[in-house]
Structure formats: C-alpha cells, structure tokens
C-alpha cells in the first residue's frame, strides 16, 4: 500500500493559522495597500512557516494578471546580453514575477513575430526585449505588441520604453583615460558594425579624440572574439605606429594581449590596452586589464521598475542611461 501524500497547504490553511480571513491572505498576496503592516507581517510569517506556495492560476484568475514577464533575447555568445538577462531575471523574481524566455536563433521578422505570438499566447503581463542588434530592435517595433514592454538597447531613439547603459560614454571614458596618460595614436578595435553597443562605443572613441584635437584612424572591425583580437594583434604588430588600443570588449583585448606577448611587444611598456565589460577574468589577465565596467544589476532593476510603472499606469520617467565606470588596472601606463 502506497503511503498517502501530504496535503498541500492552501490559502484557507494559512488564514486559519494566522487568525485572519482567506480574503485577507489574498490581499497580502496581491500587495493590496489597505493591509496593516502588522497583519501583513503575521500572514507572511505564517506562509513561510507552512511553506505555502500560492497558485499562479488562482492569482491570474483573481487579478486578471499572470505575473509573468516575457524576455526575448538572442543566442550570441557575448558576455553583455546574458549578464543583462540574468540581472533582469533577478529583479523580476524580487518583484514577485515569473519569467518566460524566448531565445532567437536568427534576427529576422518571422522569428520575432513567432516569439511575440508564443509569449502572448501565455498571457504574459509585459515583455523585456534585449536588443543588441539594430535589426532585432526594428523587427520588434514592426510587430510591437499592445502590452507594456521595455527594450534594452543603446539606439538612442527616445521611445520612452528604453533602458540602456551609456555605451558612448563608456567608449569616451576608455579613450579619455588613454589621452590623459599622454597617448595620441590610439587604435580602436570595434565590435561588428550592426551591433548597437559597438557603434555607440565607436562614437565615444571618436568624441574623445575630437575633443583632444586628435584625428581618428579607421577602426578595425571585429566580431567580439578573442581569436579576432589575436589575429588583429599580428596585423598591428607589423607596423607599431600607435601607442594605445581601445578594444570594444575584454575578449578581443585578451586576444591582443596574447598575440603581443608572443611577438615580444610589452603591455603596457610598449602599448597600453583598455577593454570593455569588466568580465570576471579581466583582473586575472596578464597584465590585469584596465576596462570599462557597466552596471548590469542596475540595468535589471531599472528594466523592472519601468515595466512596473507601465503596469500600474504611471507616467513614464525620462530616459537616463546608466553611466559605466572605468576600472584602472595594469594594462595601461603613461606614454
């Protein structure tokens, strides 16, 4: 004879143990404002003691909301977008929301339309689009759903629904650091030209050079990979007519460091290098990498705050890009 399964705790069990009505428990679950702090605390403590997990179906029926957020992203292997997604997921869970994620294999209109249809069929309350490429952002706006949404991008189109790292300011910070060290010949190894973050970082690099009266040479356009940095390093090593490099991400900077070491070019004695992203391994490169650090945790919090404002019918706040910080280590030195 099979042992009987323990009966799952329900809302009436919580109400009985807390000494309140089941309607009061429901109001606590749905963050109703007309609940005293002491009652809320007592109900929440009882739910925790009884290991009560509210039914998503019941909550959706009671509030006409699923408390589920859809995330659309791409599988591109880069550090920034997955880090951004994890920050959004953390912020969503902290706000009491579940997540449904669609990862696009290609950035075409049909894929975006299918992704939006899939999420809308689940009755999601809102969408966060992590849009590193212009084509992805354009496809989303072509089929933009009639529900609250936030885009994570650096397109600077002023939609009112955007949260972003100030990528251009990050590029400027990296380049200005090199200028302040006395460098005048500063090469830029950029990311792909169809990536919004890449083009914004190029703008920042050019702006810093122009502000110092330095002419910008054409950037070397890469693909974000260490291999590209390694191969670009061989080309650059053949004509050392520069003293510093701003690489658009830490992975390409890693490839540059490896190639320069193999051909006897010393960093930072011969060439200074700045990266971007501050990946966890950056401080363990040799030499430890000077890089630009975006605050992805703050990005996640702002995404959810903007989405919650829309769900509550609040006026949207003005867009304020998040300013990244420069982390100075040992890969840069005075010229």
Q: What is the dihedral of CA 256, 259, 262, 263, to 10 degrees?
A: -90
Please give the radius of gyration of the chain, using alpha carbons only, rounded to the nearest integer. 25
Q: Could you read off the pLDDT of 207-254 as tens digits, one per residue?
A: 999 999 999 999 999 999 999 999 999 999 999 999 999 999 999 999
Structural domain including 214 reads 167-295
* Shared-domain flag, residues 274 and 193: yes
Q: Of 25-39, 127-141, 176-190, 256-270, give the lowest mean pLDDT range.
A: 25-39
Structural domain count of the chain: 3
- Label residue 77 by pLDDT band (50, 70, 90): low
Question: What is the structure's pLDDT at 64?
Answer: 52
* Shared-domain flag, residues 188 and 222: yes
* Shared-domain flag, residues 266 and 119: no
Question: What is the structure's pLDDT at 6?
Answer: 52
> Is 4 within a domain?
no
Would the pLDDT of 4 be above 50? no
> Is 228 within a domain?
yes
Question: What is the structure's pLDDT at 261?
Answer: 97
* Shared-domain flag, residues 54 and 73: no
Question: What is the structure's pLDDT at 2?
Answer: 44
* Shared-domain flag, residues 276 and 305: no
Helix (H) or strand (E) holding 325, with range, is strand 325-327
Would the pLDDT of 60 be above 60? no
* Shared-domain flag, residues 312 and 245: no
pTM of the model: 0.78
Phi first, then psi: give them for residue 51, nearest 5 degrees.
55, 45
Domain boundary residue among 63, 89, 107? Answer: 63
Sign of CA dihedral 53, 57, 61, 63: positive
> Is 3 within a domain?
no
Question: What is the structure's pLDDT at 33?
Answer: 61
* Shared-domain flag, residues 23 and 121: no
- Label residue 5 by pLDDT band (50, 70, 90): very low
Q: Is 313 helix (H, G, I), strand (E, B) or coil?
A: coil
Question: Which of 76-80, 92-96, 272-276 shows the highest mean pLDDT?
Answer: 272-276
* Percent of the chain scoring above 90 in pLDDT: 50
Phi first, then psi: give them for residue 295, nearest 5 degrees.
-95, 90
Q: Could you read off the pLDDT of 109-143 as tens digits, one per residue?
A: 788 888 888 888 888 899 999 888 888 888 888 87
* Shared-domain flag, residues 56 and 127: no
Residue 187 and residue 234: Cα distance in Å, rounded?
14
Q: Could you read off the pLDDT of 288-311 as tens digits, one per residue?
A: 999 999 998 899 889 888 998 888
* Shared-domain flag, residues 301 and 220: no
> Is 17 within a domain?
yes
* Shared-domain flag, residues 171 and 283: yes
Q: Can you spell out the DSSP letters for 110-123?
A: HHHHHHHHHHHHTT
- Residue 131 is part of a domain; what is its CATH number? 3.40.50.2300
* Shared-domain flag, residues 39 and 86: no
- Residue 15 is part of a domain; what is its CATH number? 1.10.260.40
Q: How many CB atoms lie within 10 A of CB 176?
A: 19
Q: How many CB atoms lie within 10 A of CB 297?
A: 15
Question: What is the structure's pLDDT at 55?
Answer: 54
* Shared-domain flag, residues 78 and 36: no
Question: What is the structure's pLDDT at 36?
Answer: 87
Residue 129 and residue 125: Cα distance in Å, rounded?
14
Question: What is the structure's pLDDT at 7?
Answer: 60
> Is 334 within a domain?
no
> Is 5 within a domain?
no
Question: What is the structure's pLDDT at 142?
Answer: 83
């Amino acid at each position: 004879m099979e042992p009987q399964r323990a009966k799952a705790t329900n809302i009436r069990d919580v109400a009985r143990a807390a000494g309140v009505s089941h309607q009061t428990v429901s109001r606590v679950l749905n963050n109703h404002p007309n609940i005293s702090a002491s009652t809320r605390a007592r109900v929440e403590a009882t739910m925790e003691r009884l290991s009560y997990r509210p039914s998503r179906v019941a909550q959706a029926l009671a509030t006409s909301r699923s408390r589920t957020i859809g995330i659309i992203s791409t599988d591109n292997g880069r550090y920034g977008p997955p880090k951004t997604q994890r920050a959004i997921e953390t912020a969503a869970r902290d706000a009491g929301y579940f997540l449904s994620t669609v990862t696009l294999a290609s950035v075409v209109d049909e894929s975006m339309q299918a992704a939006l249809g899939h999420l809308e069929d689940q009755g999601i309350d809102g969408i966060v689009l992590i849009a590193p490429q212009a084509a992805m952002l354009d496809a989303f706006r072509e089929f933009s759903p009639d529900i609250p949404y936030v885009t994570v991008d650096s397109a600077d189109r002023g939609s009112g629904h955007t949260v972003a790292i100030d990528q251009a300011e990050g590029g400027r910070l990296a380049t200005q650091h090199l200028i302040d060290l006395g460098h005048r010949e500063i090469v830029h190894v950029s990311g792909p030209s169809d990536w919004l973050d890449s083009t914004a970082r190029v703008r920042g690099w050019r702006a810093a050079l122009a502000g110092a009266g330095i002419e910008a040479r054409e950037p070397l356009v890469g693909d974000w990979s260490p291999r590209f940095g390694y191969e670009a390093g061989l080309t650059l090593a053949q004509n050392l007519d520069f003293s510093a490099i701003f690489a658009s991400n830490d992975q390409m900077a890693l490839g540059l460091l490896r190639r320069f070491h193999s051909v006897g070019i010393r960093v930072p004695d011969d060439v200074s290098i700045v990266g971007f992203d501050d990946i966890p391994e950056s401080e363990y490169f040799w030499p430890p990498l000077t890089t630009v650090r975006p605050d992805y945790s703050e990005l996640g919090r702002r995404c959810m705050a903007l989405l919650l404002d829309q769900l509550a019918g609040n006026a949207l706040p003005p867009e304020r890009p998040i300013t990244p910080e420069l982390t100075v280590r040992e890969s840069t030195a005075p010229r």
